[in-house]
């Protein structure tokens, strides 16, 4: 039986433990879509740490180590500032904390656009250093040759069309895409090109719903929506958005919990106990024998 690393809660150390189930594979995800239909939608969430991966893993098909960690973890203004070192470190943590999901790591801005060779060097580093199953990159028809180059050299790729956050400076913001006829056509064309290049799935982000449906029908690989449509072949959200960790709620997010309130309330109770000298109590201190 294969092993993974789980945190020993008594010591906070990562120790190998038997994997309770076999990890999903890229071909298994790709085969979810048969004859243009996906009977079992693909569940994807972002993960950035080993512990987060442990909590999400059993419920997901894919864990995405997204470059959204720039904003979520590091407080950066956008994902443009994220580095390959960041992605490698967090990707390795998520792989160590998971045993079931396919782990995919985002290629950060500037690590793949210059040439297919640059993309291969960056992607192969991520696979070697993290143990992830594949990478995700943004861009449509222009990136299709790069996707084909990677896939032919053994690196599985998820494409990403529509609203592409790494291109925020060109797009001028995070508004929904595909409202004009020309832009809608380009999104479909981009997705078809990535599909033909060998992408095993395509993320469709922030597009008007009819275009997301058109893309899903136009490609043979599964589509994974975020701000797109329930008719996509799967869905992804930033986990912290779904859990209510931030005040702002994007239109496409459904909050399943209000974790920020829980954390704040717990910190408030702790602070009250410390100031009242009621913590630590006898149960939390070491007494002479």
**Per the annotation, where are the binding residues for 3-methyl-2-oxobutanoate?**
67-68, 106, 136
Distances (CA, A) of 279 to 10, 130, 266, 284: 21, 40, 13, 8
List the alpha helices (DSSP H) in 2-115: 26-30, 50-57, 69-72, 84-96
Distance in angstroms (rounded) separating the CA atoms of residues 33 and 35: 7
Distance in angstroms (rounded) separating the CA atoms of residues 10 and 36: 48
Helix 181-197 crosses helix 209-218 at what angle (to 10 degrees)? 30
Residue 159's SS3 state is: strand
CA atoms within 13 A on the CB side of 165: 21
Q: Which of 121, 141, 205, 247 is catalytic?
A: 205
Q: Closest Cα to residue 198, out of 221, 214, 232?
A: 221
According to DSSP, the residues that pair with 134 across neighbouring strands are 104
What is residue 59's DSSP assignment?
T
205 labelled catalytic: yes
Token digits of residue 189: 């064309």
Q: Closest Cα to residue 93, out of 52, 128, 153, 58?
A: 52
Binding residues for Mg(2+): 67, 106, 138
Give catalytic residues, as residue numbers: 205
């Amino acid at each position: 039986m294969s092993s993974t690393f789980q945190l020993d809660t008594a010591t906070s150390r990562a120790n190998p433990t038997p994997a309770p189930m076999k990890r999903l594979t890229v071909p298994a995800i790709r085969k979810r879509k048969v004859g243009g239909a996906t009977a079992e939608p693909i569940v994807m969430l972002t993960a950035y740490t080993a512990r987060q991966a442990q909590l999400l893993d059993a419920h997901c098909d894919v864990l995405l180590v997204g470059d959204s960690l720039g904003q979520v973890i590091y407080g950066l203004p956008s994902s443009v500032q994220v580095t390959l070192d960041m992605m490698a470190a967090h990707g390795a943590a998520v792989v160590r904390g998971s045993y079931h999901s396919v782990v995919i790591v985002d290629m950060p801005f500037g690590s793949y656009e210059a040439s297919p060779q640059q993309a291969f060097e960056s992607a192969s580093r991520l696979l070697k250093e993290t143990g992830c199953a594949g990478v995700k990159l943004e861009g449509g028809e222009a990136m299709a040759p790069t996707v084909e180059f990677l896939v032919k050299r053994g690196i599985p790729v998820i494409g990403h069309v529509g609203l592409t956050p790494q291109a925020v400076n060109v797009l001028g913001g995070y508004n929904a895409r595909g409202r004009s006829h020309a832009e809608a056509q380009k999104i479909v064309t981009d997705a078809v090109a990535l599909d033909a290049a060998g992408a095993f799935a395509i993320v469709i982000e922030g597009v008007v719903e009819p275009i997301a449906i058109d893309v899903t029908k136009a490609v043979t690989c599964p589509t994974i929506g975020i701000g797109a449509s329930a008719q996509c072949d799967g869905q992804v959200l930033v986990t912290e958005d779904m859990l209510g960790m931030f005040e702002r709620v994007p239109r496409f997010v459904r909050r399943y919990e209000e974790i920020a309130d829980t954390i704040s309330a717990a910190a408030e109770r702790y602070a009250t106990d410390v100031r009242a000298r009621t913590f630590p109590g006898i149960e939390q201190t070491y007494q002479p024998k």
